[in-house]
């Protein structure tokens, strides 16, 4: 593990023996006491499907989710300054260490995306990918929803400056919020892979699901 002013890294490694388990415990304790600037907000969602998906859908203030819990689900988070991120040594080091070699920009709004309402519905369908999904918000805001180990929806609010990585195999979806605008940098390991596998089209024996469940069992 190593830290910077705006990030914390922990290797996704299974800790099997007593000595290493003790090391892991110390690392996790250190992370729990690490102070994040303007930390990302997340919460358990309500189940009111009749309300616009762009609403917050916060179950209650008592059901806010910590960054540590997101990390246990394999979700990673960074904060970078949009005006200087591409020159930030921490951003450059992060890209190199995680093997992100390709990037492009996506802009989603009623004015910028053809068939906006239909596309937003597609983004909101529950699915997985065989690769990580990495987004860095340059402008605007939105919500990434991920399933936790109890199959509850966790809503993650992303705003300008937030970077989020969703692991391969996690059930998730995306929607804009009521501002109806986001401009985000997409990063990939190698050439982009766009395939989404809807939850209704796969089962729990899908290779990405098996790998994901093994990973979080070690967290």
Q: Which residues are annotated as a binding site for Ni(2+)?
A: 127, 129, 133, 172
Q: Using CB atoms within 10 Å of the CB of residue 178, give its burial: 0 to 12 exposed, 13 to 18 middle, 19+ buried.
A: exposed
- Residue ranges for the known binding site for Fe(2+) are 127, 129, 133, 172
Q: Which helix (H) or strand (E) holds 4?
A: strand 2-4
Q: What ranges make up the beta strands (E) of 18-171?
A: 41-44, 76-79, 102-108, 127-128, 133-147, 153-159, 162-166
CA distance 174 to 206: 21
How many Cβ atoms from other residues are within 10 Å of residue 112's Cβ?
12
CA distance 199 to 128: 7
How far out from the chain centre does Cα 208 lie? 16
Q: Can you give the three-state secondary structure of 50-74, one letter per residue? A: CCCCCCCCECCHHHECCHHHHHHCC
Here the tokens at position 184 are 């985000």
- Residue ranges for the known binding site are 127, 129, 133, 172
């Amino acid at each position: 593990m190593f830290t910077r002013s705006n990030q914390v890294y922990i290797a996704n490694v299974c800790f099997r023996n007593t000595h290493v388990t003790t090391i892991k415990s110390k690392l996790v304790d250190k992370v729990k006491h690490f102070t994040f600037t303007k930390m990302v907000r997340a919460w358990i969602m309500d189940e009111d499907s009749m309300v616009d998906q762009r609403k917050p859908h916060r179950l209650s203030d008592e059901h806010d989710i910590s960054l540590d819990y997101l990390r246990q689900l394999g979700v990673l988070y960074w904060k970078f300054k949009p005006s200087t991120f591409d020159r930030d040594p921490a951003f450059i080091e992060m890209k190199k260490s995680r093997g992100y070699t390709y990037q492009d920009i996506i802009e989603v709004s009623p004015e910028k995306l053809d068939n906006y309402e239909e596309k937003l519905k597609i983004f909101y369908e529950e699915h997985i990918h065989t690769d990580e999904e990495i987004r860095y918000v340059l402008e605007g805001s939105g919500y990434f929803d991920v399933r936790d180990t109890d199959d509850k929806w966790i809503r993650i609010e992303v705003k300008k400056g937030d970077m989020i990585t969703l692991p391969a195999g996690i059930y998730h979806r995306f929607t804009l919020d009521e501002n109806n605008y986001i401009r985000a940098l997409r990063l990939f390991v190698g050439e982009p892979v766009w395939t989404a596998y809807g939850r209704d089209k796969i089962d729990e024996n899908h290779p990405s699901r098996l790998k994901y469940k093994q990973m979080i069992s070690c967290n």
